[in-house]
Amino acid sequence: MADQTAKKRENKVLRRNEYYAIQDVFDSLYAKSKQGAIFTDLMSLIASPQNIALAYRRIKRNKGSRTPGTNMGTIEQIAEKGNDVLVAYVQRRLANYKPHPVRRVMIPKDNGKERPLGIPTIEDRLIQQCILQVMEPVCEAKFHKHSYGFRPNRNTHHAIGRFRFLAFTVKLEYVVDIDIKGFFDNVDHSKLLKQIWSMGIHDKNLLCVISKLLKAPIQGEGVPQKGTPQGGLCGDPHNPPYADTFIMLSRPA
C-alpha cells in the first residue's frame, strides 16, 4: 500500500514537472551526477523561468505558504506579481542574494519542552524551492540506496520494509536506535558545504547563496554560526548528505 501511494505521488510530481518542460533537465542532472560529473553552473538552471514557475506552483500548494515571515508576506502577495514580474524578481534576488531575517516560532513538544521553528519569508521560501529542485536530482544520484529520511518518494514504511528483509531473510537481529540530540541546532556550516562540494556541486555562486541562507539572521537572535532552522525548505534537504556519510560508514559488509 505504501509503495502504491508513493508511486502515485511520484507520477503526480513527474506530470507537474513535464508540464513546465523541465523533467528532462532533472533527469539529465541525475544521469550526469550518477556518472560522476562536476557541476559548475547550476545557477542558470535555478534561475530559469521554468524552474521558478514550478517552484511557485509547489510552494502555492503547501499550506505553509500562508504563514507569514518577518515581512508578513504570504503566497497571496506573490501571486499578485504575475509570472513575468515574479521571474524577474527571483532572478534579481539570486544575482545578489541577501536573505530576509527568519521569524522564530516556538512549538510545544509532548515532553513539555519547546521546539524552535524558523519561518523564512515567502520570497525566500520560493528561492529555496528553486534551489532544492535543481540540487535534488544531483544529490539523489549520490545518496545511499538505503537512506530513507527527507528524500522524495521514500518514507518510514520503506525503512520498515528494509528492516523486515534484513531481520527475516538475512537474519540480522540487532537494531541500533540513534537520535542525534539537537541535530538541527548544531549542523556545522563548513562541513555541510564541503559535503555538498563532494557530491560534485562546484558552482561557487550557488554555494555562496547556500552559505547566505545558512547565515540568514534570526529575528531577535542575530546571525547563527551553526545549525539550520527547522521550518525552512532548506532545513530538511540538507540532512541527507550528513546521514549518507553515516550510512556509508556503518552499513554491513
Contacts of 226 (CB under 8 A, 6+ apart): 185, 186, 187, 188, 189
- Compute the distance between CA of residue 19 and CA of residue 34 in angstroms, rounded to an integer: 25
Rounded to whole angstroms, how far apart are CA atoms 110 and 115?
Answer: 10
Q: At 252, is the pLDDT very low, low, confident or very high (cuts 50, 70, 90)?
A: very low
Rounded to whole angstroms, the Cα distance separating 160 from 156 reads 6
pTM score of the predicted model: 0.83
* Tens-digit pLDDT profile for residues 85-128: 999 999 999 999 999 999 998 888 888 888 888 899 999 999 99
Number of domains into which the chain is organized? 1
pLDDT at 251: 43
φ/ψ (deg, to 5) at 137? -65, -30
Which candidate, 169, 173, 185, 196, places its Cα nearest to that of 228?
185
Asked if 104 contacts 157 with a C-beta cutoff of 8 angstroms, the reply is no
Q: Is the pLDDT of residue 184 over 50?
A: yes
pLDDT, tens only, 144-160: 888 887 788 888 899 88
Residue 41 has pLDDT above 80, yes or no: yes
* Helix or strand (DSSP H, E) at 104: strand 103-108
**What is the structure's pLDDT at 1?**
55
Give me the mean pLDDT over the 169-183 stretch.
Answer: 82
Q: pLDDT, tens digit, for every residue of 65-83? A: 888 999 999 999 998 988 8
Q: Alpha-carbon distance 184 to 218, whole Å?
A: 14
CB 202 within 8 A of CB 39: yes
Domain limits for position 131:
2-250
Identify which has the larger pLDDT, 7 or 228.
228
Cα angle for residues 120, 99, 96 (degrees, 5° grid): 150
